[in-house]
Structures are given as structure tokens and as C-alpha cells.
Amino acid sequence: MALRVSDVPKPEPVEPRSGPRRKPGPPTARAAVTAAVSARLAPVIEGAAPYVRRLRPKYPRPGRTGWRRWMPSWRQWLGAVLTLFAATASLLGVAYATTEIPDNLNTYATQQDNVYFWEDGTPMARTGWVRRQEMPLKDIPEQVRWAVLAAENESFYSDPGISASGITRALWRTVGEGDTQGGSTITQQYVKNVYLSQDRSVSRKLTEAMMAIKLDQKMSKDQILEGYLNTSWFGRGTYGIQRAAQAYYGKEVSELNPSEAAFLASLLKGAGLFDPSLSANNHARAVERWTWILDRMVKIGKLSAEQRAKYTEFPEPLKQSRVYDTGHQSDYLVELATQYAKKSAHISDQEFDLGGYQIYTTFDRKRENALTAAVTRARKDARKDDPDKARTAHYGAASVADDGRILAVYGGPDHRKQGFNESNATTVPAGSAFLPFVYAAGLEHGVRKERGTTATTPVGPDSVYNGDDDVPVTTPEGPYWDRSGKKVTAHNDDGKSWGQIPLHKALASSVNAPFMQLGLDTGLDKVRLTAQAAGLLSSSMGPQVPELSLGSSTPSAIRMASAYATFSAQGTHTEPYSVRRITRNGSGVALSTPKPRRAVRTEVADQVTDALTESFRTQHPGAAPDSAKVAAKGGTSQKDTAAWYVGTHRSVSTAVVTYRMDLSKSLEPLPLKGLAGSPATSVPYGIWSKAMSPLS
């Protein structure tokens, strides 16, 4: 039975969509460009259509015999080639139009490491995930640039960003052999470094080529070359030719000669194959490639034959990379310098993490090594004498110059385990090491002895005070009572009574009682302000009670060294600082450097220094003849929780503190119980003398 049209069921009518129709939006920029390219190519394709139809093959071909009946004619071959050409042109045109250059670069193309330098300018440490430092093209010698161009792309300054033959060769290798190396211009390699992934595929290669053409029109050749030299991988963990120069030759890129540059250029072919320190085969390949690059530079006129004749021996690179990773003590130095750099140069955490900063610190390598060695020896001796107490022992130390430069610190045995810096910790009381600030306050401001008056009476080194142990302290209003209703009395460290004693001798002999009374006579507010003016932090001062004069404050070793340096600097104080200069990729970064300011009068500072000099001679009569130039004092806390030694020699002050604390249980200091030696400051003094004597 035949099926009639009328038998076919009609489709159900579709209800129109309710609501207004969405109007087509404006075409995107990419769509507009694609449409324009297609419109341009349409006449070409349409004009070729009749010829294509005419050339459409008919098989078997009439008038031919044998195998020739099945072979296309030359016209058909021509038609096929024209069709392929038109299709390829259309494809490339659309690909070019739709390929865009991203606004953001890859992370590895922008991130750099931060490098820290010792005071003498030699590298100290680096931080960051990427070992790279950008260098302006003007700071890269011309022969270094041409060594790279001779090796990778000698026609760089004349090509359009791509090489047709190179792309064809690379595509053939990608499809045929799975090898994508080679075939790229420097512009293409730069595009791959900063915009694309390392994916190996035909589509990525095509995208790379399109972006290279566009980038070549957008950027100057010098800009592209600069970017390429700063983002390329050179092995040994380095990106960029500046870090490569440091890693392989221990020098700046500006110091490279053409021979060394030729070797570094060879690494761009594959650092794993050409680093001569890895294997004998690598060495042979490196020498062969180095020779070829130098000869190539001569051939293209960028190196004279006379210059080439100088380079007959392969420039052996360093056996190991000079990578300045942070270590145990340099962790503490880096931490201090980083904190100071960010604050004083107004660098945000995000900006700093992007890297590229060169931070020139104030740290003196010889002093740092001497201080670290001295504390290490003390730790070793403590473990031998009493392992249990040594387990909870802590040592903080710092050396600060009169002009505020922090020269050395000891922050602890291992920053990664401990997590805080002993030299910068405000943990334990200053004890009798605080007495010079009470003495300076009295000399500077005078004392008030009478009730109901603000008039002050000057005091001097020969002013006499009661030096007896357990003597009550008084105010113009009468005895000083504590909150429990007891009279407050002063106690000397050794319980000895000295009778009436001049202030100069009291400080030299570390007699506490006179200074507890002097603090009340001067005014505890003035004592506090004088200590702060000298360099101690207000946050470490503690309550304003008579015990303040006996060192209830908890300064850090850095601050104690800085404050004693104020007396050595004739009463001017400069805030301690750890960074003297910062650059970023060769350009200076504005840095706020502390300026000296008056803390106490010059004569007051000299009188304090004279007393500290006598203190050193009294406590260490067998010291070297040069001890006449040393102003120093030991100090212990009344509860035996800290032992200090602080002193100045030739414009450098060093403070050392020893204490015990079981961090696994509490942050409360424990009694020393002989850990600091006998007398109680002998261990801190031993560290101080070893750190200062050979260097001052």
C-alpha cells in the first residue's frame, strides 16, 4: 500500500516563547575581526570556485589508458594546490585575527628572588622561589647579547618574529618525532617563556607563531631581547642571564667576556646537556658548542678575528653554583633586614614577594662569624658541664656601631626550629646592666630632695649616696611603701654593704642601693625617658616603680647594645638599622635612614663612659693593655633569671645575655643556677671578649 503525503502526521504547532525576544548583543572584537578577515577572503574563494569545478576530476579519465586513466592532470594538480593555499591562508588569517596577547605574564616571568649582601658588598643570602634578577638591556654588554643572538637567532633584528623554515621544521619534528626543540626565533621563545605553557603540541606551536608576529609589531626588538634574556632558563636553578653569570662564574653579567658569554649562550640549547660539571659528555658538548658560537660571532661580524684568537681555552665555569641560600644564622639576619627594608622603604608584602630587590645590609661578616663562634663554644661547654641546664639555655647577642649600624647578631641555634630571634627578644630583665641609664638621668636632670618644690639640685660623679644593703628608699614625702604596706628597700647583688659611696664608684662597682634611691630622687619618669632617649623601647620598660631603677625592664640585646653606644657616641643616639641601601633591578629604592639625635648632654655621656671604663678595669684587671678604651659592665637580675655583659670598644657596642627557658612548657624565665658561670657574668663576658677582641 502506497504511503500518501496526507498520511504523514503533521507536527504539533510550537507555542511562541513568551516575553520579549533577546536582542542580539554587539559583536565582540574577536568576532568582528574574524568577520572582516572572512569577508576579505570570500572573493578569492568565490573567484576560484569556477576553476575548481572545471578542474574537478573525472575518473577514469577519457582518452587515457592504463594507470594514466587514474592520475590527475596538471590542471587538477594546480587546482588542488590553489584550493589548499586558499584554505591555508583563510585558516592562518582567522588564527592571526583570533589570537590575542594576554595582559598578564606567567608567574615565573615576573617573580624574582631577593638577594641580600654583606656590608662589604659580597652576597650573603637569597630568598624566593625563583632565582632571577631582571637586568636592563643597557647593562648587558653588547658582545654578551650577540653571543646569544649568534647561537639562537642571528637574523633577530630583521625577521618578522617568526621563521617559516624553522616553524616547518619544528612542526615536522612535533608530528613526526615528538621533538619540539629548535625552529623558534627569539621572539617565539620569549612568547613561550612569558605567555604560554611548555606543552608540546601543534596547536601551541601555531599559537606561539601568531603571538610572536603580533608581539613583533607591538614591542621593539630591544624590548623583546631584554625580556628574553631575563626570562630564559640557564640551569642550576637560575632564570635570566644575570643569575646565570653569578651561578656559573660568580660575577655580574656586566663583567662577562665574550668567551664566557658564548658558554652561557650554549646553555639555552638545554642546560642539562651543556653544563660541563654534570658529566664528561656534557663537557665535550659544551666545548663544541662554545667553539661554534665564537666562530659564528666572527662570521656575522660581531667579533673580530683578533679577539677570537684570544679565546682558545674553554672558560671553565665554577664546579658548584654560588647560590646563597639562607642558613641557620643568616636566617636571623635576613629576617631583621627584611623587616627593616619593608618598613623603611614602604614596600608592601605583595611587592616584596614578587622579588627583584637587592638588599645591602649593615652586617659585618667577620664580626658575625666571631660572635657566632663565641656563642657556639659557650653552648658546647654548657652541654659538657650540665646537659640538663644546657637543654633550656638561651643566648642572645648583638653588636651595634655608634652610628646605628647593626653589625652582627646571634639569634639562636636554628631559626627554623626556634622561630624567634634571641637578639631581638624582650624576654628577660636587664638587671644591674640598667644602672648606667639611672646614672645618666640623675646627671642630666638633677634631683629633687625637698617636699613641695619642683626645684632640682645638680648631682655629679662625686655625689655621695648610701650603699648599704637593705636600706629603705625614700621620697621627699617620706618612706616609699609598696601595695602590701611594706617599706621598699634596696638590695645589692652580693648582699654587701658599702656605706656612703660616690655615684661614680657605685656604678663602677655595680652597687644597686644608691641607684634605687637616685631613681626616686631624679623621678622615675625621667629615668624612663632617659633610657628611651638612649635607645630602649618604651614597650620594654615595665611598671614605673622603684624596681625600674634596678633593671625590671626587659630590653633586647640589640637595644642594649644600641643604648650603650649612645654613651660612646658622646650622647647622640641613632636608631639601630640593618639595611643601608636597596635597589630593584639596578635602580635605587628610596630608603629612610635614621638620623642621629641628642639623647643626653656630651658631658653626661662622658661621665657615664668614664664610670663604665673604671668598671671594666675593676672587674677585669688582667685584660689587654687596650682595655683603657673599653667601657663595659656586667649585670644580673635580682631573681637570678638573666646575666648580661654589655660594653663598647672603638665605637662598637656588644650586648650578650644568657638565660634559661623551657619553651615546651612556658615562656617564663627559669633561675640560671650557675649556667652563666661564676661570677655570674663570666660566661656572657667570655662571649663578649671573644667577639670583640680580635676585631676591634
DSSP result, 318-378: PSS----B--HHHHHHHHHHHHHHHHHHT--HHHHHH--EEEEE---HHHHHHHHHHHHHH
Closest CA to 438 of 517, 330, 515, 357: 515
Q: Could you give the CA distance from residue 460 to residue 196 in angstroms, rounded to a whole number?
A: 76
Q: Could you give the CA distance from residue 239 to residue 108 in angstroms, rounded to a whole number?
A: 9
Inter-axis angle of helices 202-218 and 186-194, nearest 10 = 110
Q: Buried (b) or exposed (e) across 12-32, using 16+ Cβ within 10 A? A: eeeeeeeeeeeeeeeeeeeee
Higher pLDDT among residues 257 and 90, named by residue: 257
Residue with cell 608540546: 200
Q: pLDDT tens-digit profile of 377-419? A: 999 999 998 898 899 999 999 999 999 999 999 999 887 777 7
Whether 153 has a pLDDT exceeding 60, the answer reads yes
Give me the CATH code for the 105-124+326-428+554-598+637-696 domain, please: 3.40.710.10
pLDDT score at 185: 86
pLDDT, mean of residues 192-198: 67
In this structure, are strands 238-239 and 131-132 parallel, antiparallel, or unpaired?
A: parallel
Q: pLDDT tens-digit profile of 92-111? A: 555 555 555 555 566 566 77
Superfamily of domain 130-310: Biosynthetic peptidoglycan transglycosylase-like (1.10.3810.10)
Peptide bond into 694 cis (omega under 30): no
Q: Could you give the CA distance from residue 305 to residue 258 in angstroms, rounded to a whole number?
A: 13
Whether 28 has a pLDDT exceeding 70, the answer reads no
Structural domain boundaries of the chain? 42-98, 105-124+326-428+554-598+637-696, 130-310, 430-551
CATH of 430-551, one of 3.40.50.1820, 3.40.710.10, 3.20.20.140, 1.10.1530.10: 3.40.710.10
Higher pLDDT among residues 102 and 491, named by residue: 491
Higher pLDDT among residues 103 and 35, named by residue: 35
Q: Could you give the CA distance from residue 359 to residue 641 in angstroms, rounded to a whole number?
A: 37
- State pTM to two decimals: 0.72
Q: Do domains 130-310 and 430-551 have the same CATH topology?
A: no
The three-class DSSP label of residue 347 is coil
Please report which confidence band the pLDDT of residue 45 belongs to, taking 50, 70 and 90 as the band edges: low
Q: Which three cell numbers stand for residue 192?
A: 613561550
Q: pLDDT tens-digit profile of 645-685? A: 999 998 999 999 999 998 888 888 899 998 988 888 899 99
Query: Taking the CA of residue 239 as centre, how many other CA atoms within 13 Å lie in the half-sphere pointing to its CB?
Result: 25
In this structure, are strands 357-361 and 114-117 parallel, antiparallel, or unpaired?
A: parallel
Contact by Cβ (8 Å): 512, 505: no
Whether 361 has a pLDDT exceeding 90, the answer reads yes
Using only the alpha carbons of the chain, give its radius of gyration: 39
